[in-house]
Structure formats: C-alpha cells, structure tokens
Chain A
C-alpha cells in the first residue's frame, strides 16, 4: 500500500530525499486535513460525535436544563406516558423520563466506548510498534501472544468475564478492550513494517537517535491516521457490542441507564409503547452511523485515491 511518505515525495517534485525526510509529515497532514474539511458529511458526523460526547460529560447539566428529572427516580403513577409536554420523550415502565435517561445513558454508552477504544489503542499500538520495529524473536513472541488473544472466540470470553466481574463501565471497557487490542496490534505492526524501511527512518537511525524517540516522533505520526480511523470506527462498534451484551443480560445492569439496556428493556413493551424502543434505537443508530461516516471520511482524507470526489 502506498504509504503517506511516498505521497509526500510525489507532492514535492524535485525535492531530494533529505527534504522529504526533514518535513515529510507537515504538508501531507495539511493536505489530509483540508480534504477532511471539504467532506461536509464527514465533518458533520465528527461534530455530532463531539456534541454527544459533550452531552455525556455534562449530563447532569443537560438533564437539569432540559428535563428537570432524575434518571433513576421512579413514579409508578406515570408509567408509559406518551411523549408530550410533561415528558418530552415519554416515560418507561417505572415512570422514569426517557430523555433524561438517554442523556445519562450517553455517559455510560459513550464512556464505555471511548474508554475501550483508548485502552485497546494504547496497548495495541505499543505492542504493534515494538513488534514491528524490533522484529526478530520479539516480533515472534508478541505476535504469538496476539494470535492467542485473537484465537479466543471473543463472545465466549465476554460472557465468562462478565460473570467474573460484575460490570460497571470501567470493568466492561477493560473486558472488551482485552480482546480488542489484538487487531490493533496487527494493524499497527503492518504499518510499521511498511514504513520502517523508508529512507528517512534509516537516516534518523544512522545519526544515533534513541529507539523510543524514533518510535514516538517518527513512526507514530505515520501510524496515526490508521489509528484515528480505527478509533472512530471502534467507538461505533463498541456501542453495538455493549448493546449486544445488555441484550444477553451481561452488560451494564439496570437501574444504571445505558442506551443498550434501555433498548433491551423496552422490547417487551413494544406492542403498546413502541416509542420506548424507537428512541434508544434511533440514538444508537445515529451515533454509530456518525462514527462510521467519520471513520470513513478520515480514511478517505488520508488516502486520497479512495476519496469519492
């Protein structure tokens, strides 16, 4: 696959290798960001995710301003109220306000997703870079480890670990990340292998730069686009995984609201209160869609041959 540094060379005709080595990243990055900015759909998706993240972080503020209800306060006189003036998105089987729970649920669902991605990416990138950079037996051992992790049928492991650790958001993130880092490691290792042989790397090594410095300052920026794509797509996928675990009864347990467990909970009442299924369902769909679109947009932006315009 054409690496980003080669694109940089093409962009600056006549430039020698040294010039390319000195500033391979900057113009490529600028170019890519411009491409991303031009992709209006992608940017909109990215903004949406940021907004949702903001809502998640500031949940108490948002819910106090928008609804005045608590996410866990029940009111058995007000069950299954249809969306309207008193409850903008209606209430559930225990009289809890749906909009409030969606807002607080963002905290849980997005929190788990971002945390999981952060954990998988940090562990995976480290392992992948070390394996790819050093090669040899280190690479062998680490990749065998990755193979082992990837050999475990992931869903089995989730089930067993969910029984082990009564999952709250943090432990759930750790559980999902424990199988997710493997594919990140493979991905990063692949990128590192293709970039490792570039002249500017050899050049920097020859002037005696420390390994860690090399990895962080030169390899990492080249690997970053792949990581951003993985992160963006990952957030969406983890939300779906969390929802699936909730459906199986293993994820975030009520009364803590998460989008997934709100959706699962509402299934039985679909016949008379379909809105209880619709709202968390739409929320999940829109968020995951946004993360997918943004991830694709980043990928298109950093790999110009694949853009759609």
Chain B
C-alpha cells in the first residue's frame, strides 16, 4: 500500500523535476541575449574570442538540443562543468549543500526550542498580559525584513562589541579564514545567521503551538482527564502538549522543502557558502550548467520534503490512510 503510494509519488516527481529544470533552462536561454557566461567587459576580448567561447559551451545550439544533451549526461550521473569556472558542477553542489543544511537545520532546531515554550506559556496564560506580550513579540518577529535584521545584528554583535573590547561574533563565512574550521569556530560563525533565520520560524510556530494547545486543551478527553483527578501538570504536558505537537511536526515538514532555498537571503547577507547563494550568483551570470544542477537537486529535495511531510502526517494521525 504504502510502497505503491510512494512509487506513484516518485514517478510524478520525476515529471515535476523535468518540468522545473526545463522551465529554468527556457528562462535562462530566453533572457541571455548574446551574453557568454563569465565574460565581462574585457578590453582584451575580441569578437572571435567570444564566438569561440560560445561554441565551446554549446550555446550556439537551440535550447532543446542543449536540454536533451544535458538530460542524457545527467542520466549517467554527469552534471557537467560550470560554464564560468570549469569545475564539476557536482563538486560545487556537494561542497555547499552541507553548509546550507547545517544553517537551516540549526535554525529549525532553535525555532522549535524557543517556539514550544513560548506557545505553551501563551496558551496556559491565555488572555493575560504575558500572553499579549508574547503575541506582540512573535507577531513582530515576522515583521522585520531578514536582511535588515542580519545587518543590524552584524553591526551590534560584530562591529560594536569588538570596538568596545568585548567578545564578538564574526560577520561572514562559515568559519574563520585563518586557522578556522574546528567545531567551536563553526558554531561561532553559525550563531548570527541561524538566529536571523530562526526568528521567522519561531514567530510563526509559537503562534501555532499556542492555538494548537488551545484546541487540544478544549477537547473532551482533556476534560475527562481533569475530571478523573489527574494533576494539571500531567494533563497539560502528558496529554495536551504531546497531541498539540503533532501538527507542529507537519509544519516542520512543510518547511523541509524550504530548507534549500529558504536561507538564501541570510546566506547572501552573511556570505554563507551555501547552495542558495551559489544558485543566485550563478543565475545572474547565466552559468547554465550549475544552475540546472542546483535546480535539479533543489527540486528533488523539495519533493522529498513534501513526501516526508505527508508520510509523517499519515503516520502520526491515524485517521489518515493512504491508498
């Protein structure tokens, strides 16, 4: 049953991946004009040079020929070489993907760790000043542009702290340029970008936990548990919270697709060497091969994320069955 469902979704996904990559290629090809990827306004370049380069990259062929050649190569696991720097696309992706996942996964974890307590408190103290304050804070949390928050945090926690001789946080990159790379160094660099990214999640999820808790706490079985004399604490945490968290898992699952591209702005602000930043820069430079490769993977991950979310939902909510 489940296997057939997954298989069907998988086949449909292939169609989606093909569609998305083709769309990406069409958009790039239609807008490129006569620009040859990687070639800037360089006085030493002549028209013949540019023609030569264009032919070498296969850009003189119509896009569908290019696409079919590319698909053929991909089926062999060959994602080609970047048009800008000639290095294998796969190496670019595999170098950066872990960085992106590290960033977004950390942000999600921080988000959950902060959202759950905030939501529970809000639900338990419904209507009180605390609840109002929390509501306003969380609602304010997703009213701030991410890039602005990032730049402000850099200003405060990096530059200002350093100027006053206090311990300060680095402002770009995933690790220190010199002698960096160890665990603590990476954590130091992760703090600011993950905080900015998690702000968004925290705000939404704390609201959600709150309403979910309220809904659960108004259910009959909770009333029954109370009537049976169970302690308030057990009622709230054992029964209430556990059930309220179930939809949260779905929500997190809904974020899985965004894992790859959700952090793009944060990656750009903090110079985080992730896949979002890679795609953004290469798209503007018309590096077909890299962008197609990244889109392929990103779409696959989005679909996998969607599938995982749906499966989790099915597993956790016994009312849903898949046919």
Given the interface pairs A281-B148, A308-B127, the reply to whether A150 lies near B218 with Cβ below 8 Å is: no
| B30 at interface, CB cutoff 8 A | yes
Cα distance A264–B268 in the bound complex, in angstroms: 13
Docked-complex contact A296 and B280, CB < 8 angstroms: no
- CB B209 to nearest CB in A, in angstroms, measures 12
Docked-complex contact A156 and B279, CB < 8 angstroms: yes
Residues of A within 8 A of B284 (CB): 159, 163
Docked-complex contact A308 and B131, CB < 8 angstroms: yes
Residues of B within 8 A of A267 (CB): 151
Docked-complex contact A151 and B135, CB < 8 angstroms: no
Docked-complex contact B12 and A144, CB < 8 angstroms: yes
| A110 at interface, CB cutoff 8 A | no
Docked-complex contact A153 and B261, CB < 8 angstroms: yes
Docked-complex contact A155 and B207, CB < 8 angstroms: no
Q: Name B139's closest neighbour in chain A (CB-CB).
A: A292
Docked-complex contact B151 and A164, CB < 8 angstroms: no
Docked-complex contact A156 and B24, CB < 8 angstroms: yes
Contact of A164 among B16, B27, B155, B215 (CB under 8 A): B27
Given the interface pairs A160-B24, A160-B27, the reply to whether A150 lies near B257 with Cβ below 8 Å is: yes
Classify chain B's interface size. Answer: 35 or more
Q: Name A260's closest neighbour in chain B (CB-CB).
A: B145
Docked-complex contact B261 and A155, CB < 8 angstroms: yes
Residues of B within 8 A of A284 (CB): 143, 145, 148
Chain A binder among B106-114, B165-173, B299-307: B299-307
- CB A248 to nearest CB in B, in angstroms, measures 7
Docked-complex contact B143 and A163, CB < 8 angstroms: no
Residues of B within 8 A of A306 (CB): 211, 214-215
| A38 at interface, CB cutoff 8 A | no
Cα distance A289–B295 in the bound complex, in angstroms: 33
Residue in B13, B140, B147, B258 whose Cβ sees the most chain A Cβ within 10 Å: B147
Docked-complex contact A155 and B276, CB < 8 angstroms: yes
Indicate with 1 or 0, residue by residue over B238-282, a CB within 8 angstroms of chain A CB atoms. Answer: 000000000000000000011011101100110000001001100
Cα distance A164–B284 in the bound complex, in angstroms: 11
Docked-complex contact B145 and A305, CB < 8 angstroms: no
| A20 at interface, CB cutoff 8 A | no
Docked-complex contact A308 and B126, CB < 8 angstroms: yes
Docked-complex contact B20 and A263, CB < 8 angstroms: no
Cα distance A220–B83 in the bound complex, in angstroms: 51
Docked-complex contact B31 and A270, CB < 8 angstroms: no
Given the interface pairs A160-B28, A306-B214, the reply to whether A152 lies near B299 with Cβ below 8 Å is: yes
Cα distance A160–B30 in the bound complex, in angstroms: 11
- CB A262 to nearest CB in B, in angstroms, measures 11
Residues of B within 8 A of A288 (CB): 142-144
| B283 at interface, CB cutoff 8 A | yes
| A25 at interface, CB cutoff 8 A | no
Cα distance A18–B285 in the bound complex, in angstroms: 64
Chain B binder among A52-60, A189-197, A236-244: A236-244
Residues of B within 8 A of A286 (CB): 143
| A247 at interface, CB cutoff 8 A | yes
Docked-complex contact B299 and A285, CB < 8 angstroms: no
- CB B222 to nearest CB in A, in angstroms, measures 13
Residue in B13, B265, B294 whose Cβ sees the most chain A Cβ within 10 Å: B265
- CB B235 to nearest CB in A, in angstroms, measures 18
Cα distance A236–B294 in the bound complex, in angstroms: 30
Interface set, chain A 230-265, CB cutoff 8 A to B: 236-237, 240, 243-244, 247-248, 260, 263-264
Docked-complex contact A244 and B265, CB < 8 angstroms: yes
Interface set, chain B 66-114, CB cutoff 8 A to A: none
12 A-B residue pairs with CB within 8 Å: A147-B12, A151-B257, A156-B295, A159-B283, A160-B283, A240-B146, A247-B268, A281-B145, A285-B140, A289-B143, A292-B142, A308-B135
Q: List the 4 closest pairs (A to B, CB-CB), nearest first.
A: A153-B261, A288-B143, A289-B143, A160-B27
Q: Which A residues lie at the B interface, using CB under 8 A? A: 144, 147-148, 150-156, 159-161, 163-164, 236-237, 240, 243-244, 247-248, 260, 263-264, 267, 270, 277, 281, 284-286, 288-289, 292-293, 296, 305-306, 308-309
Known contacts A159-B279, A289-B139, A308-B131; 14 further A-B pairs (Cβ under 8 A): A151-B20, A153-B257, A156-B24, A159-B284, A236-B142, A244-B145, A260-B145, A263-B145, A285-B140, A289-B140, A292-B143, A305-B214, A308-B127, A309-B127
